[in-house]
Amino acid sequence: MNTIIEPFRIKSVEPIYFNTEAERALIVEKAFYNPFLIHSTDVMIDLLTDSGTSAMSSNQWAGMMQGDESYAGSPSFFRFEKTIQEITGFPLVIPTHQGRAAEKILFSILGGKGKYFVSNTLFDTTRANIEFSGAEGVDLICEEGKHPSIPAPFKGNMDTTLLKKFIEEKGTANIPLCIITVTNNSGGGQPVSMQNIKEVRAICTEYKIPLFIDACRFAENSYFIKLREEGYADKSVREIAKELFSYADGCTMSAKKDAFANIGGFLAMRNEDLAQHCRNLLIMTEGFPTYGGLAGRDLEAIAIGLNEVLDEHYLQYRIRSIEYLSNKLIAAGVPVMQPAGGHAVYLDAKEFLAHIPVDQYPGQALVAALYVHGGIRSVEIGSLMFGKYDEHKKLIPAQLELVRLAIPRRVYTQSHIDYVAEVIIEVFNKRDEIKGLTITEEPPMLRHFTAKLKPIESK
Ligand SMILES: *Cc1c(COP(=O)(O)O)cnc(C)c1O
Domains of the chain: total:
2
Pocket test for ligand 1, best of 53, 190, 218, 256 (most atoms within 8 A of CB): 256
The pLDDT of residue 363: 97
Distance 27 CA to ligand 1 centre (A): 29
Q: Residues 6 or more apart from 439 whose CB is under 8 A from it? A: 361, 384, 447, 451, 452, 453
pLDDT of 146 reads: 86
pLDDT of residue 386: 84
Using the atom order of ligand 1, give the atom closest to the CA of residue 254.
7
* Residue 371, CA atoms < 13 Å, CB-side half-sphere: 34
Residue 141 lies in a domain: yes
Do both 115 and 194 map to the same domain? yes
Quote the pLDDT of residue 75: 97
pLDDT at 76: 98
- Which atom of ligand 1 lies at the shortest distance from residue 186's CA? 13
41 and 62 together in one domain: no
Q: Are residues 180 and 266 in the same domain?
A: yes
Confidence at residue 457, expressed as pLDDT on a 0 to 100 scale = 83
36 plus 134 within the same structural domain: no
Determine whether the shortest distance from the Cβ of 129 to ligand 1 is under 6 A.
no
Assess whether the C-beta atom of 51 lies below 6 angstroms from ligand 1: yes
Collapsing DSSP states into helix, strand and coil, what is residue 83? helix
Is the distance from the beta carbon of residue 181 to the nearest atom of ligand 1 less than 6 Å? yes
- What was the pLDDT predicted at 202? 98
**174 shares its domain with 246:** yes
Nearest CA to ligand 1 atom 8: 99
284 and 316 inside one domain: no
3-state SS of 368-383 is HHHHHHHCEECEEECH
Cα(255) to ligand 1 centroid in Å equals 9
Q: What is the pLDDT of residue 186?
A: 80
What are the beta bridge partners of residue 116? 136
Domain-embedded: residue 378: yes
Kindly give the pairing relationship between strand 452-455 and strand 437-441: antiparallel
Is 146 contained in some domain?
A: yes
The answer for residues whose C-beta is within 8 angstroms of residue 411's C-beta and 6 or more apart is 53, 54, 55
- Residue 387 phi, psi (nearest 5): -65, 150
Nearest residue (CA) to ligand 1, atom 4: 99
Specify the CATH number for the domain of residue 354: 3.90.1150.10
| Residue 15 falls inside a structural domain | no
User: Is 380 inside a domain boundary?
Assistant: yes
Write the CATH number for 269.
3.40.640.10
Listed residues 282, 308, 334: the one ending a domain: 308
Residue 13 in domain: no
Cα(216) to centroid(ligand 1), Å: 6
- Residues of the chain whose pLDDT is less than 50? none
Residue in 126, 366, 385 with CA at minimum distance from that of residue 265: 126
Tell me the pLDDT tens digit for each residue of 343-354. Answer: 999 999 999 999
Q: Which atom of ligand 1 is nearest to the CA of 101?
A: 9
Q: Are residues 278 and 394 in the same domain?
A: no
100 Cβ below 6 A of ligand 1: yes
Q: Does the C-beta of 119 come closer than 6 Å to ligand 1? A: no
Domain that holds residue 206: 58-308
pTM: 0.94
Last residue of a domain, which of 308, 340, 371? 308
Q: Do 265 and 176 share a domain, yes or no? A: yes
* 279 and 215, same domain (yes or no): yes
What is the best residue among 123, 260, 286 to mutate for testing ligand 1's pocket, by most ligand atoms within 8 Å of CB?
A: 123
Please check whether residues 427 and 301 belong to one and the same domain. Answer: no
The answer to whether 284 and 58 have CB atoms below 8 angstroms apart is: no
Among candidate residues 275, 308, 341, the one where a domain is terminated: 308
Domain contains 353: yes
Atom of ligand 1 nearest to the CA of 184: 13
| pLDDT for the residue 459 | 55
185 lines ligand 1 (CB under 6 A): yes
Same domain, 304 and 315: no
Contacts of 42 (CB under 8 A, 6+ apart): 17, 19, 24, 27, 375
